[in-house]
Amino acid sequence: MWQALSVESWKARGRSDLSKVFPIVNDIIEQVRGEGDAAVLRLTARFDKVELSDLKVSRAEIDEAYSKIDEELLEALNFARSRIEAYHRRQRPDDVTLFKDGGSSLGWKYSPLLSIGIYIPGGKASYPSTALMCAVPAKVAGVRNIIACTPPPVHPLTLVALDLAGVDTIFKCGGAQAIAAMGLGTGSVPKVQKIVGPGNVYVTAAKVLLRQEVEMDFPAGPSEIAVLADSTAIPENVAADILAQAEHGPDSACALVTDDPVLAEKVGRIIEDMAGRSERKELILSSLKNSGHIMVKDMVEGVAACNELAPEHLSIQTADPLSLLPLMDTAGAIFLGNYSPVACGDYTTGTDHVLPTAGNAAVHSGLDVLHFMKRSSVQLLDQGTLQKLAPATVKLAETEGLHAHAESVRVRLKK
């Protein structure tokens, strides 16, 4: 079960072959484009085995969900929400309306997007933490209209979390048809400017195919973790972090990157023992087929390997993890030291757990406030600065054949 891996073999396991499902997903999209709500209801009955007459979750359904949640769990949700909000408020950028550059005043301003669609996986499971992670930063950014889609039957926990996070409208639909509904608009589901949230291969394929219709976040598929560890690491901690990600599903990918063969052997034995006793044994054992250790000669090579992996989660369990932090360029989220389990980042530290996977952390950041905002540049010129900029502006414009551009400058200098 626990095996030796190479960087390339681990990366290959994290890649989803979306092209195989593109024809299926494209057909779903075209059905939604042509028939709107009717197509979504029909597809929901087909894929989720739930017959619905209305896609929208009513206020009565949300209130009923609260009655099914015990007080301690509600407190935990509110605690997590407050931590996520506090962290993301610190991310909110300030406008720089004007700063002087000679006779010109330059700056920028940030504006929230007007409408956001959130996708929360569901059906057989409940992900209230993902509901908070998607909706709270959008709310902090100031998005005016936030809608969410999640497959039926919707778990009460998911409804409560979406309501606590300030989502305006919730819809009972999932899969590629939900992405199409938010991206194209239907009779019930409004078209949004951007869609965020993780999902399976069909959801991810729908995001790719609908990029010309609506802005998307990034590919967020099966869970990943790479643990960079040396001889000082506690084997039980390493094993526990790997198992925590392995229980997400059979396509999860987990790797221990180490220069210590003794540690690799110990971790492997502990993982096999803990997996055998786990409540989710079959799921974890299936996932561990994609997992193992990558041996490196030293931590310099280990850092390079982790940067090439670009994992969703990177745990650094070494003698001096802070010294390695400046060298890490590609991970979605980084966890330092023996007392920073990824599970806390999944729920309560306040950082966001919606992260790019399958190597996409090399070029994408995890979900944050800036995903829900856009920036506009601002400029104010006085007459003297215009005269200073005019010669180069006119010359460049006329060289490109844009004579009206040049004239828009010259006309101001004649006054």
Tell me the pLDDT tens digit for each residue of 208-224: 999 999 999 988 878 89
Residue 101 resides in a domain: yes
Question: Same domain for 10 and 35?
Answer: no
Tell me the pLDDT tens digit for each residue of 21-66: 999 999 999 999 999 999 999 999 999 999 999 999 999 999 999 9
Residue 149 confidence (pLDDT): 98
Residue 146 confidence (pLDDT): 98
Question: Same domain for 144 and 265?
Answer: no
Q: Which of 88, 293, 313, 364 is catalytic?
A: 313
Strands (E), 262-326: 292-295, 313-317
Kind and range of the H or E run holding 150: strand 145-150
203 contacts: CB under 8 Å, gap ≥ 6: 119, 121, 175, 176, 178, 179
Question: Same domain for 245 and 267?
Answer: yes
Last residue of a domain, one of 183, 199, 216: 216
Residue 238 resides in a domain: yes
Query: Residue 199: which domain range?
Result: 18-216
Single-letter amino acid code for the residue at 109: K
Angle, helix 37-47 to helix 175-184, in steps of 10 degrees: 170
Strands (E), 219-372: 224-229, 253-258, 292-295, 313-317, 333-336
Residue 219 confidence (pLDDT): 83
Last residue of a domain, one of 163, 197, 216: 216
- 313: annotated active-site residue: yes
Question: What sign results for the dihedral spanned by CA atoms 59, 64, 70, 71?
Answer: positive
Residue 409 near residue 385 (C-beta atoms within 8 A): no
Domain containing 271 — which CATH number?
A: 3.40.50.1980
Q: Which of 224, 248, 312, 353 is catalytic?
A: 312
**DSSP annotation of 18:** G
Q: pTM here?
A: 0.92
182 dihedral zone (left: phi>0; alpha: psi -120 to 50; beta): alpha
Tell me the mean pLDDT per 10 residues along the chain, length 415: 86 70 97 98 96 96 96 97 98 89 89 98 86 98 98 95 98 97 97 95 93 92 93 97 89 94 96 87 82 96 97 97 97 97 97 93 96 96 93 98 97 87
Half-sphere exposure at residue 29, Cβ-oriented, CA atoms within 13 angstroms = 24
Length of the chain measured in residues: 415
**Distance of alpha carbon 315 from alpha carbon 242, whole angstroms:** 10
The total of structural domains in the chain comes to: 3
- 215: annotated active-site residue: no
Residue 13 confidence (pLDDT): 65
3-class state of residue 304 by DSSP? helix
Tokens 């949230």 belong to 197
Question: Same domain for 208 and 253?
Answer: no
Residue 196 confidence (pLDDT): 97
